[in-house]
Amino acid sequence: MTRFAAPIAEQIWDMKYRFKEADGTPVDLSVEDTWRRIARDIARAEAEPELWDARFYAALEDFKYLPAGRITAGAGTARSVTLFNCFVMGTIPDSMGGIFDMLKEAALTMQQGGGIGYDFSTIRPKGAGVTGVAADASGPLSFMDVWDAMCRTIMSAGSRRGAMMATMRCDHPDIEDFIGAKQDAARLRMFNMSVLVTDAFMAAVKADGSWDLHFDGKVYHTIQARDLWNRIMKATYEYAEPGVIFIDRINAANNLSYVEQIAATNPCGEQPLPPYGACLLGSINLARLVSDPFSDAAHIDEAALDTLVATAVRMMDNVVDVSKFPLEAQAQEAAAKRRIGLGVTGLADALLMKGLRYGSDAAAAQTERWLKRIARAAYLASVELAKEKGAFPLFDAEKFLASGTMRAMDEDVRAAIAEHGIRNALLTSIAPTGTISLYAGNVSSGIEPVFAYRYTRKVLQKDGTRTEEEVVDYAVQMWREMKGDAPLPDYFVNAQTLAPSEHVKMQAAAQKWVDSSISKTINCPEDISFEAFKDVYMQAYETGCKGCTTYRPNDVTGSVLSVAESTEKVPAEAPEQVRGAGGQDAEVVYMSEPLDRPQELEGSTYKLKWPDSEHAIYLTINDIVLGGHRRPFEVFVNSKNMEHFAWTVALTRMISAVFRRGGDVSFVVEELKAVFDPRGGAWVQGKYIPSILAAIGGVIERHMIATGFLEGEGMGLKTDPTAKVVGLESGTRGKACPSCGQFEMRMIEGCMTCASCGHSKCSG
C-alpha cells in the first residue's frame, strides 16, 4: 500500500524531495523514510530528541503538516543548503563598492537555495551627480540588470533557479522606468517586481492630488498621483507586473515595528522582511483534517488542529537552530527574532468538503474562523516554548503588545504573552504551496481556489509508448469515492469562474489573522475593463490586504487555458470533466526517463572561430526524430585549446542531459545567449556577441532553426514533438513549461508555476 493519494504525488516526491546519492541511488526508500529523516534532523535541537522525533513524525505522517520544500528536500541530508525559504538582503548602499558587496551576498545566498528580495529605492536616480566622479549616476535599473545576470547563472537547491523580488518606493524619481522595465520581454526575467505604495500616495490618488518624486531631500519631478497610479495599473493590466505592496500597512501591523523597518519582501510576497531578514515556511494541510466530508456534520476537530499547530510551531522553531545560513548576518537576524511562517494549504478543498462555495460570504467567514484558530494556537504554542526555552532575544512585552497585529489578538493570548513572553516574533504566513500541494495528493494550493478539478496527463516512456494518467483534485477524488458518479454540486467552482472581487474577499478574510502576508493571485478575465481592473486593487487596499497580485491572460502574459467541452458524455454541471488544467486535452507532460540513444543519429558539425582565440571550437549537434520531427538530442563541444577543456566537457554533458529530457529546451539557447563576459565580447559577422558562450548559444539556435525545431531567431518553439495539444480553439494555448514541456504554466500565488511537474519560476 502506498501513502500517496495519486501517481503525480509520488512522482513529485521522487523528483523533488526524495533524498538520493549524487549518482541517483535513492537513500529514502519510501516516503516514510523522508518523514523520518526530517523528524530526526529537526528533533536534534531538543533535550529529548527521541520523544520529539516520534511526535514530529506523527505530524508529518499522511501529509497533515507540510514543511516547505527546502526543509523536505534538505533536512537530514548534510548538504550545504539552507532550510530557510525567504530572505531580504541588506540595505543597498548608494555607492559602487557597496552595491557590488551586496551583489556578492546575493550570489552566496542564492547558491544555497534562498529566494531573495531587495529594495532598490536606496540607489540614487539616473542622471544624479556622483560626488568625486565626473559622471552621472546610471540609476537603480542598470544595477538590477547586473543582479538579473548573476541570478541567471546560479542554480538554487532542488534544481530550481534562484528567484528575486525587486521593490521600489512610489516616490523614487526612477519609479516610472521601474514600472515599465519588464515590458521588454528580454529584461529582468529573474525578478518579480512590486511597487511600495504608501498611505499618503493612496490618499493623493483618491484626491487626484500632486505627487513629488524625490531622493535624498531633492524633488526631481512633481506629477499627478492618479497618473502614476494609472501607469502602474496599465502595466500590470497588460504585463502582470509590477505587483503592489501596501508598505505602510505592513509596517504598522508588524509585531516588530519597534526594532525594524520593512522595505522589501521575498520573491512571492508572503514574507515582508527587514534587512537580512530570513523566514522559514510550513503549511497545515486543511484538506486532510476534515471529518465527515460532504455531509452536514463535516468539520475540523479544533482540538486536534490546535495540537498539530503546536507541533508544527515547535518543529519550525527548531529549524532556526539546525539550519545553515548563507551569511552570518542572516543567522544573527533569525536568532534574534526567530520568525516562522506557518500557513495553510488545501483551504479550497476543505471548504468544498463542508459544502461551501469559495468566494461566498460563508466561505470567507469560515476561512477567517479557521485562520484565527490557527493563529491563536500558534501564539499560545510559542508562549509555551518561551516558558521552556526563553522568549526571542529582542522581545519587549509592552512594545510587542502595542503593535498592530497584537492589538487585535484575544485578551487571554495577550495576557499569556505579557506574563511569559513569546518564542517567535512572527508566526503566520501563507506561502506558495504549488509543489508541496501536488506532493500531498493534488490538494488545492495555499488559499487559492481549485484551478482545475480534473485533467489528463500523458507520459512518454523510454520505449516511445505513452501512458495516460488522470490527475484529479483531492476533494473531487474524495467525492468520487463517497458518491460514485453523482454530479458535482454547484458550489464546486474554479479559479476561472470566480469574480475578482471574490478572490479579494478571500484574501482579506485570511489576512486578518496572518501576521506576515499572503501569496495569492487574483485571476481576472481577459475581457475585464481597465476601470474594473483598477477597482480590484482599490478593493484590496480598502479591505485590509497587504498587497495585491493579479493575472489577466492576454497575448503578452500567456493564456490561462479556457474550458473546452470534452467528448465524453457528462452532466452539464460537472466541471471536473475539464480535461486539461483550465481546459486542454494535454498530451505529454515529460519523459519519465531519458530516451535511450539510438545507434545512429543525424547531425551537423559547426566551426566557431572566436576572435583572439588561437583555436576554433567545433560543435556537433545530433538530432533524434520523434513523431516525424527532428529535435536536438546531444551536443559535443570540442577545442584543441586545453584551457577550454574543462568547461567544454561540462557544457557537453549538461546540454546533452537537458536535451535528452525533452520538453521545451529552447531555454538553453536563451540562457547561453544571455551570458556576458566581463572582459568584453566580440563583433562576429556584423553582430555584437557578449561572450563565447553566447556565440555557442547562437550556433545551437541556428541549428534548431535549420531543422525546423525553432521558427526563427528569438521566436521560440515552432512545435514540440513530445508535447502535442489537441482540441483547442485558436489562441487558447498557454506557455510551455521549460522543465517538462507541457502547456501547463499558469500564475499561482504570484508565480508562474507548472501544474504537471511543479516547476516554478520562484524558489519559495
Nearest CA to 690 among 609, 610, 621, 605?
Answer: 610
- Provide the pairing of β-strand 340-345 with 602-608: unpaired
554 is catalytic: no
- In the DSSP assignment, the letter for residue 158 is G
Distance separating alpha carbons of residues 496 and 452, to the nearest angstrom: 9
Among 86, 151, 170, 268, the active-site one is: 268
Type of residue numbered 142: S
Please give the backbone phi and psi of residue 459, each rounded to the nearest 5 degrees, phi first.
-115, 130
Per the listing, cell 520538453 goes with: 663
What the block records as the C-alpha cell of 324 is 545553515
Q: How far is CA 30 from CA 9, 20, 438, 644, in A?
A: 13, 12, 17, 42
Among 254, 255, 266, 424, the active-site one is: 266
Spell out a b/e string for 690-699, using b for 16 or more CB atoms within 10 Å of the CB, else e. Answer: bbbbbbbbbb
- In the DSSP assignment, the letter for residue 13 is I
Please give the backbone phi and psi of residue 80, each rounded to the nearest 5 degrees, phi first.
-85, 70
CA count, 13 A, side-chain hemisphere, 372: 13
268 is catalytic: yes
- Count of C-beta atoms within a 10 Å radius of residue 491: 16
Distance separating alpha carbons of residues 745 and 754, to the nearest angstrom: 4
3-state secondary structure string across 190-232: CEEEEEEECHHHHHHHHHCCEEEEEECCEEEEEEEHHHHHHHH
Nearest CA to 573 among 474, 505, 497, 500?
Answer: 497
- Provide the pairing of β-strand 745-748 with 751-754: antiparallel
Q: Which residues lie across from 745 on neighbouring strands?
A: 754
Distance separating alpha carbons of residues 380 and 393, to the nearest angstrom: 18
Taking the chain, what is the end-to-end CA distance rounded to the nearest angstrom? 32
266 is catalytic: yes
- In the DSSP assignment, the letter for residue 403 is S
Please give the backbone phi and psi of residue 286, each rounded to the nearest 5 degrees, phi first.
-60, -30
CA count, 13 A, side-chain hemisphere, 449: 29
Catalytically active residues are 266, 268, 270
